[in-house]
Structure 1
Amino acid sequence: MQSRLAYVEASLEVAKQSRSIFTRLYPESAIAAAIYADTLRAQKIAPLSPIAGLPVSIKDLLDVAGEPTLAGSTVLRNAQPAKQDAPVVTRLKQAGAAIIGKTNMTEFAYSGVGINPHYGTAPNPADTAIARIPGGSSSGAAVSVATGLCVAAIGSDTGGSIRIPAALCGLTGFKPTASRVSKAGTVPLSFTLDTICSLAHTVDDCITMDGIIAEDSLSITALPLKGLRLAVPQTLFLEDMDQHVSSAFSKALTCLSAAGAYIIETPMQLLAEYRSMAMFSAPEAYAWHRQLLAEKFGEYDPRVAQRIQLGAHVSAADYIDMHTARAEWIGHMRALLAPFDAILMPTVPIVAPEITPLIASDDAFFHANGLLLRNTGSINILDGCAISLPCHEHGSLPVGLSIAGAANTDGKVLAIARVVENTLAKIRSV
């Protein structure tokens, strides 16, 4: 078995040459964690954490003591250094993770595309012939795992920022109920919707990471697929699918149905109405950024600054009304979801677009961004939990299948994801 040290050293060597994946590396502490884990393994002193000594990355919006947290920007280069690690970082270190670096991201996490004009954009590893977006905003996080440099990555998800890159890069990304993981020590996008979470290769890997970073522990009971009632919303969420996504999603549903799950097509119009309440990010981001924007507007990614500034036009009364409407809507949604075990939908309706056209055209960029965020954003407004897992055939462009539920149904969603993943292995091996 490869030593932890050999793995970490190999990852660091590649990472040094991969400037668009990482914004900062931690070679000394990562190597020390790997050596310590290898020593304990050799001496068989005590059971080790599943990630002890293994390379893990953290998104560049998490505080690490002694350095400014950039959040994919240049405007924070001279900000005050963090006084202490974010609680999630502390938990990773306590578990013995070899944190090899901070990963690149969409500036201030404000898009699902993953393009960063300051530090470059790491191409999606799923296609070596065409440079495609990795998805965002946790772009470097996904690429660090998809390239094998890390076993898992910590990112964030405000409207889909962990599930979108997971879907586009062929990975598994889990967004827990937001309150389960501390957001302290992170640069916020939306105080209401931000969720700190992880992506990895498998459902079990995501369960492992959740057990490390979450404030509570889940009880995950094995479920049979047969008899599960899985709702497939027909309003909005299946629109504008490209042919490849449509085919992969259809095959996945057929496979699950053949294994005994009840696939229930339902309008679920109420879920689609989430978009009338989806303006939390702009006013909350503007509240945090307004002084920085006044001082350093020209240093922002123009596309990010444009979206943040929309928040200046949201009145306090409108903001309060949005919170009231959301709370009422969530109550109605919980009643609507009660007869079902989970919701199924394509994580995103398109495969990863090419990078160059999206850099060149604002229209192309914002059209793609809207499509990428459309399905995933509903679960953030719901305050729910969701996981994206691959459902495409081997060798084809990645497609993500989303399994979602209401708040605090995390254990059930993960149990369903585990059995769905095993069932879809038939498709994935083709």
Structure 2
Amino acid sequence: MEATIAAARRQLADGSANALSLLASCVERIRNPDGEGARAFPHGVSMAAHMQAQASDMLREQGVAGVLAGIPVSVKDLFDVQGDVTRAGAKVLPERPASADAPAIARLRAAGAVFVGRTNMTEFAYSGVGINPHYGTPRNPFDRQGGRIPGGSSSGAAVSVTDGMALAAIGSDTGGSCRIPAALCGIVGFKPTASRVPLQGTVPLSPSYDSIGCLANTVECCAAVDAVMAGEAPPTAPLPLAGLRLAVPTGLVLEGMSDEVAEVFSRTLRRLSAAGALLQDVSFESWNQLAELGANGGLVAAEASAWHQQLLAEHANRYDPRVLSRIRLADEQRAADYLRMQQRRRELCRQADVELAAFDAVALPTVPIVAPCIEALGDDESFFSTNRLLLRNPSIANMLDLCALSLPCHRLADAPVGLMLFGRHLSDRRLLAIGMGIEAVLRRERR
């Protein structure tokens, strides 16, 4: 099976593949006992997948094909899919099949996507590391023998794409949950402006920051999936880099970089400049004040605590202790603190929009390190310090309500490193077009 949606569409159109054969290729990889399928899809292949693929092939024979007809897509276990149980990577939710699709899922279904299965994730999406003590942790495709983290919270989503178990993956992104695993696993992850894709039918983490994104092998693939979920047209062509105004932020986002990431990021900037992009070092004042939104877990802990209140009263001992401790940070907050943070966030979003107006996009490292080994995060101190480092850069886009994209910029044989692009609020289609242009330049250099 080809690794892009565009290639699969060509195969479907010329008859060299059909939806059933694309699905069979994914299922073979999922069920390979030597692979990561059991950890990426802990609940197995969707029972409805075969029927969906079969129906897609029958419709195509009649000349009916949606824009994602026959394309195998994995779904993070955070979204309601009619007839499936939504567990959110946890053990405490009722084993009750969803009565209807989440709107984003319904749009994908209407476009003809074939849902391969539900992917593993950090419990309740509350970590950027990707470790799950209940269902196991899928290993990063790089140095698989060493057992590196996949990143989270959309851990299984990323591995489903890297291992050919799906052509695209649906994930959520509250502080980087699509972009972190994409960067660490060497694929593309997209976080839209939150309001573009409806959140109904998903288990919330923080409604203020939650967004529904996707992961795939190319920016074009992500653009195709995002367009369906948002009910918009995808960008039609990549934007050329000549004259593109890219801000390169200074300060905290560049601190703590490993030697590998620092070298790759520097090399990437040189390539973008050589291709005609205009790079400017910038210190964004709004970014320097974002720490005000993080006291005692910030808005995320407050909103998570409110949603989990009843479950915690009955089942706190069944939670991942590391997730539980983060939710309980909100115990130190007052209602006045929450309201103040909301007001301050609105102010910073307005300020950031003004600061970004002079640029086409912002370019920075997605995360400052390559994926560490799972075993190295066995103690809480290592786990939480790594989690903070992974979330630091991506979460800026969630706090400031921006769109954001991570695409690989490392050489193919090296540890994956992600280049992250930020765009202004609701500039999603333009950011994706910019990403396609940058991807074309970087792919020539990565071989």
* Same topology, TM > 0.5: yes
Residue 2 (str. 1) matches residue 21 (str. 2): no
Describe the SS at the equivalent of 2:421.
strand
Counterpart in the other structure of 1:255: 271
CA contact (8 A) 1:190 1:280 kept: yes
Counterpart in the other structure of 1:198: 214
1:82 pairs, out of 73, 98, 113, with 98
Per-residue deviation, 1:219: 5.4
Between 1:277-286 and 1:30-39, the stretch displaced more is 30-39
CA contact (8 A) 2:284 2:352 kept: no
Counterpart in the other structure of 1:412: 430
**Distance of aligned partners of 1:407 and 1:218 in 2 relative to their CA distance in 1, 3 Å threshold:** farther
Per-residue deviation, 1:209: 0.2
Per-residue deviation, 1:266: 1.5
Counterpart in the other structure of 2:393: 375
Which amino acid in the other structure matches residue 279 of structure 2? Answer: I
Per-residue deviation, 1:129: 3.0
Per-residue deviation, 1:218: 5.2
CA contact (8 A) 2:29 2:164 kept: no
Distance (Å, rounded) in 1 between the aligned partners of 2:238 and 2:159: 31
Counterpart in the other structure of 2:404: 386
Distance (Å, rounded) in 2 between the aligned partners of 1:420 and 1:13: 34
Distance (Å, rounded) in 2 between the aligned partners of 1:110 and 1:427: 35
Please list, as runs of the form range in 1=range in 2, the aligned pairs for 1:209-288 lying within 5 A after superposition.
Answer: 209-217=225-233, 222-278=238-294, 279-288=298-307
The gaps in structure 2 that reach 5 residues or longer are 1-15
Provide the aligned length of Structure 1 versus Structure 2.
425
CA contact (8 A) 1:7 1:54 kept: yes
CA contact (8 A) 1:220 1:412 kept: no
Identity over aligned residues, as a percent? 49
Distance (Å, rounded) in 2 between the aligned partners of 1:125 and 1:215: 32
Where in structure 1 do 4 or more consecutive aligned residues deviate above 6 Å? none
Per-residue deviation, 1:394: 1.4
Describe the SS at the equivalent of 2:146.
coil
Per-residue deviation, 1:67: 4.0
Describe the SS at the equivalent of 1:20.
helix
Per-residue deviation, 1:82: 2.3
- TM-score in terms of structure 1 length: 0.95
Counterpart in the other structure of 2:330: 311
Distance (Å, rounded) in 2 between the aligned partners of 1:79 and 1:308: 23
Which amino acid in the other structure matches residue 20 of structure 1? Answer: R
Describe the SS at the equivalent of 1:129.
helix
CA contact (8 A) 1:57 1:100 kept: yes
Residue 142 (str. 1) matches residue 161 (str. 2): no
Please report the RMSD computed on the Cα atoms of aligned residues, expressed in angstroms.
1.6
- TM-score in terms of structure 2 length: 0.92
**Distance of aligned partners of 1:260 and 1:329 in 2 relative to their CA distance in 1, 3 Å threshold:** same
Cα deviations by residue, 1:15-68 (Å, 9 ceiling, x for unpaired): 245221113345442112222333444x3614x334312211000010123443
Counterpart in the other structure of 1:422: 440
Cα deviations by residue, 1:226-285 (Å, 9 ceiling, x for unpaired): 111100101111100001111111111000101111111122243232222131110000
1:121 pairs, out of 123, 130, 137, with 137
Distance (Å, rounded) in 2 between the aligned partners of 1:377 and 1:328: 17
CA contact (8 A) 1:220 1:411 kept: no
Per-residue deviation, 1:187: 0.4
1:296 pairs, out of 306, 312, 315, with 315
CA contact (8 A) 1:252 1:427 kept: no
CA contact (8 A) 1:220 1:414 kept: no
Counterpart in the other structure of 2:6: none
Distance (Å, rounded) in 2 between the aligned partners of 1:305 and 1:136: 16
Distance (Å, rounded) in 2 between the aligned partners of 1:40 and 1:250: 49
The gaps in structure 1 that reach 5 residues or longer are none
Between 1:245-254 and 1:49-58, the stretch displaced more is 49-58
CA contact (8 A) 1:382 1:406 kept: no
Residue 11 (str. 1) matches residue 11 (str. 2): no
Distance (Å, rounded) in 2 between the aligned partners of 1:266 and 1:64: 43
Residue 70 (str. 1) matches residue 87 (str. 2): yes
Distance (Å, rounded) in 1 between the aligned partners of 2:391 and 2:435: 21
Distance (Å, rounded) in 1 between the aligned partners of 2:417 and 2:63: 43
Counterpart in the other structure of 2:186: 170
